Protein backbone atom coordinates (compact mmCIF):
# COMPACT_ATOMS: atom_id res chain seq x y z
CA UNK A 1 0.00 0.00 0.00
CA UNK A 2 1.45 3.35 -0.98
CA UNK A 3 0.43 6.96 -1.44
CA UNK A 4 0.06 6.48 -5.22
CA UNK A 5 -3.10 4.48 -4.64
CA UNK A 6 -6.28 6.54 -4.91
CA UNK A 7 -8.06 5.21 -1.81
CA UNK A 8 -8.15 2.39 0.74
CA UNK A 9 -11.12 1.03 2.68
CA UNK A 10 -11.63 -0.73 5.99
CA UNK A 11 -14.86 -1.61 7.85
CA UNK A 12 -16.92 0.49 5.48
CA UNK A 13 -14.79 3.65 5.74
CA UNK A 14 -12.68 4.98 2.89
CA UNK A 15 -9.40 6.83 3.30
CA UNK A 16 -7.53 8.93 0.72
CA UNK A 17 -3.84 9.98 0.58
CA UNK A 18 -2.91 12.88 2.87
CA UNK A 19 0.81 12.96 3.84
CA UNK A 20 3.67 11.17 2.09
CA UNK A 21 6.31 9.32 4.13
CA UNK A 22 9.05 11.62 2.78
CA UNK A 23 7.32 14.71 4.20
CA UNK A 24 6.82 12.94 7.54
CA UNK A 25 10.52 11.91 7.68
CA UNK A 26 11.59 15.50 6.97
CA UNK A 27 9.45 16.83 9.84
CA UNK A 28 10.68 14.13 12.25
CA UNK A 29 14.28 15.20 11.57
CA UNK A 30 13.37 18.86 12.15
CA UNK A 31 11.74 18.09 15.51
CA UNK A 32 14.71 15.89 16.51
CA UNK A 33 17.04 18.81 15.83
CA UNK A 34 14.93 21.12 18.03
CA UNK A 35 14.92 18.60 20.88
CA UNK A 36 18.65 17.91 20.44
CA UNK A 37 19.47 21.58 20.93
CA UNK A 38 17.47 21.81 24.15
CA UNK A 39 18.37 18.49 25.79
CA UNK A 40 21.88 17.51 24.63
CA UNK A 41 23.38 17.91 28.13
CA UNK A 42 20.33 17.02 30.24
CA UNK A 43 19.90 13.20 29.96
CA UNK A 44 16.12 13.41 29.44
CA UNK A 45 13.58 10.63 29.82
CA UNK A 46 11.44 10.21 26.72
CA UNK A 47 8.04 8.65 27.34
CA UNK A 48 6.55 7.19 24.18
CA UNK A 49 2.79 6.82 24.29
CA UNK A 50 1.64 3.40 23.12
CA UNK A 51 0.36 2.19 20.83
CA UNK A 52 0.24 4.97 18.27
CA UNK A 53 3.52 6.78 18.92
CA UNK A 54 5.81 3.76 18.64
CA UNK A 55 6.86 4.53 15.05
CA UNK A 56 7.29 8.27 15.64
CA UNK A 57 9.18 7.58 18.89
CA UNK A 58 11.56 5.19 17.15
CA UNK A 59 12.22 7.56 14.25
CA UNK A 60 12.62 10.57 16.55
CA UNK A 61 15.04 8.87 18.97
CA UNK A 62 17.23 7.64 16.10
CA UNK A 63 17.48 11.20 14.77
CA UNK A 64 18.61 12.81 18.04
CA UNK A 65 22.10 14.27 18.05
CA UNK A 66 23.01 12.96 21.52
CA UNK A 67 23.27 9.56 23.18
CA UNK A 68 22.47 10.32 26.83
CA UNK A 69 18.76 9.66 27.32
CA UNK A 70 16.35 7.06 28.63
CA UNK A 71 13.22 5.80 26.91
CA UNK A 72 10.07 4.58 28.65
CA UNK A 73 6.62 3.73 27.39
CA UNK A 74 3.22 4.42 28.86
CA UNK A 75 -0.17 3.39 27.53
CA UNK A 76 -3.13 5.71 27.87
CA UNK A 77 -6.18 6.05 25.67
CA UNK A 78 -9.26 8.16 25.16
CA UNK A 79 -10.36 6.90 21.72
CA UNK A 80 -13.32 4.72 20.80
CA UNK A 81 -13.42 4.15 17.04
CA UNK A 82 -12.76 7.52 15.37
CA UNK A 83 -13.77 9.77 18.29
CA UNK A 84 -11.99 10.82 21.48
CA UNK A 85 -14.12 9.67 24.42
CA UNK A 86 -12.37 11.77 27.06
CA UNK A 87 -12.08 8.74 29.37
CA UNK A 88 -8.42 8.30 30.28
CA UNK A 89 -7.20 4.78 31.01
CA UNK A 90 -3.68 4.30 32.30
CA UNK A 91 -3.02 0.76 31.15
CA UNK A 92 0.74 0.45 31.47
CA UNK A 93 2.40 2.56 34.12
CA UNK A 94 5.67 4.39 34.26
CA UNK A 95 8.55 2.36 35.73
CA UNK A 96 11.27 5.02 35.97
CA UNK A 97 11.59 7.50 38.82
CA UNK A 98 11.23 10.88 37.11
CA UNK A 99 11.86 13.07 40.18
CA UNK A 100 14.17 15.94 39.18
CA UNK A 101 14.43 14.60 35.61
CA UNK A 102 13.57 16.31 32.33
CA UNK A 103 10.66 14.45 30.75
CA UNK A 104 9.57 14.63 27.12
CA UNK A 105 6.29 12.94 26.24
CA UNK A 106 6.27 11.59 22.69
CA UNK A 107 2.75 11.34 21.28
CA UNK A 108 1.49 10.42 17.82
CA UNK A 109 -1.36 12.93 17.68
CA UNK A 110 -2.84 15.64 19.89
CA UNK A 111 -6.51 15.91 19.06
CA UNK A 112 -8.80 16.98 21.92
CA UNK A 113 -5.83 17.32 24.29
CA UNK A 114 -7.75 15.62 27.10
CA UNK A 115 -5.53 12.54 27.27
CA UNK A 116 -2.30 14.54 27.25
CA UNK A 117 -3.55 17.02 29.85
CA UNK A 118 -4.35 14.10 32.16
CA UNK A 119 -0.96 12.48 31.57
CA UNK A 120 0.96 15.73 32.09
CA UNK A 121 -0.86 16.34 35.38
CA UNK A 122 -0.11 12.75 36.46
CA UNK A 123 3.60 13.15 35.65
CA UNK A 124 3.90 16.54 37.37
CA UNK A 125 2.76 14.89 40.62
CA UNK A 126 6.05 12.92 40.49
CA UNK A 127 8.12 16.17 40.71
CA UNK A 128 10.14 16.09 37.50
CA UNK A 129 12.49 18.98 36.64
CA UNK A 130 10.32 19.62 33.57
CA UNK A 131 7.63 18.01 31.43
CA UNK A 132 7.33 18.86 27.75
CA UNK A 133 5.04 17.49 25.07
CA UNK A 134 6.16 16.45 21.59
CA UNK A 135 3.62 15.30 19.01
CA UNK A 136 3.98 14.30 15.39
CA UNK A 137 0.51 15.54 14.47
CA UNK A 138 -1.48 18.36 16.07
CA UNK A 139 -5.14 19.21 15.41
CA UNK A 140 -5.60 22.65 17.03
CA UNK A 141 -9.17 22.91 15.70
CA UNK A 142 -10.16 19.92 17.88
CA UNK A 143 -8.46 21.05 21.11
CA UNK A 144 -10.92 21.00 24.04
CA UNK A 145 -8.55 21.96 26.87
CA UNK A 146 -5.76 24.46 27.38
CA UNK A 147 -2.60 22.59 26.49
CA UNK A 148 0.92 23.66 25.58
CA UNK A 149 2.45 21.51 22.86
CA UNK A 150 6.19 22.17 22.92
CA UNK A 151 7.28 20.32 19.78
CA UNK A 152 5.00 19.81 16.78
CA UNK A 153 5.84 17.76 13.73
CA UNK A 154 2.87 18.92 11.67
CA UNK A 155 -0.31 20.88 12.25
CA UNK A 156 -3.08 19.10 10.37
CA UNK A 157 -6.76 19.25 9.48
CA UNK A 158 -9.33 18.09 12.07
CA UNK A 159 -10.34 14.97 10.10
CA UNK A 160 -9.52 11.43 11.21
CA UNK A 161 -6.25 9.95 9.89
CA UNK A 162 -4.55 6.53 9.79
CA UNK A 163 -1.00 5.41 9.10
CA UNK A 164 2.43 6.09 10.59
CA UNK A 165 1.36 4.47 13.87
CA UNK A 166 -2.19 5.84 13.94
CA UNK A 167 -5.00 3.34 13.64
CA UNK A 168 -8.70 2.84 13.09
CA UNK A 169 -9.75 0.06 15.48
CA UNK A 170 -6.17 -1.34 15.42
CA UNK A 171 -5.99 -1.27 11.59
CA UNK A 172 -3.56 0.86 9.60
CA UNK A 173 -0.70 1.47 12.06
CA UNK A 174 1.82 -0.12 9.68
CA UNK A 175 0.96 2.14 6.71
CA UNK A 176 4.07 4.31 6.15
CA UNK A 177 2.12 7.25 4.69
CA UNK A 178 -0.82 9.05 6.34
CA UNK A 179 -4.32 8.71 4.92
CA UNK A 180 -7.34 10.86 5.79
CA UNK A 181 -10.98 9.84 6.10
CA UNK A 182 -12.84 10.70 2.91
CA UNK A 183 -15.08 13.68 3.72
CA UNK A 184 -18.48 12.53 2.43
CA UNK A 185 -18.58 9.67 4.98
CA UNK A 186 -18.95 11.81 8.10
Helices 54-62, 21-39: inter-axial angle, 10-degree rounding: 60
Does residue 91 have a pLDDT over 80?
Answer: no
pLDDT tens digits, 58-70 = 999 999 998 899 9
Q: Sign of dihedral through CA atoms 92, 21, 60, 161?
A: negative
Does residue 44 have a pLDDT over 80?
Answer: yes
* Residue 79, pLDDT score: 55
Q: How far apart are CA 12 and CA 124, in angstroms?
A: 41
Does residue 119 have a pLDDT over 80?
Answer: yes
* Banded pLDDT at 3 (limits 50, 70, 90): low
Q: Give mean pLDDT, residues 126-142.
A: 97
Catalytic residue list:
111
The CATH number given to 13-76+86-185 is 3.40.50.2020
Q: How far apart are CA 137 and CA 164, in angstroms?
A: 10
pTM for this model (two decimals) = 0.89
Amino acid sequence: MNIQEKEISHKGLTFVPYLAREKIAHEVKRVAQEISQEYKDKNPIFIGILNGAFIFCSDLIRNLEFLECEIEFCKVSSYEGTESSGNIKQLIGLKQDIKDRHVVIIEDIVDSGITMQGLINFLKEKNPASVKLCTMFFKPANLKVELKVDYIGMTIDPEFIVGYGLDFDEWGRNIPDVWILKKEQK
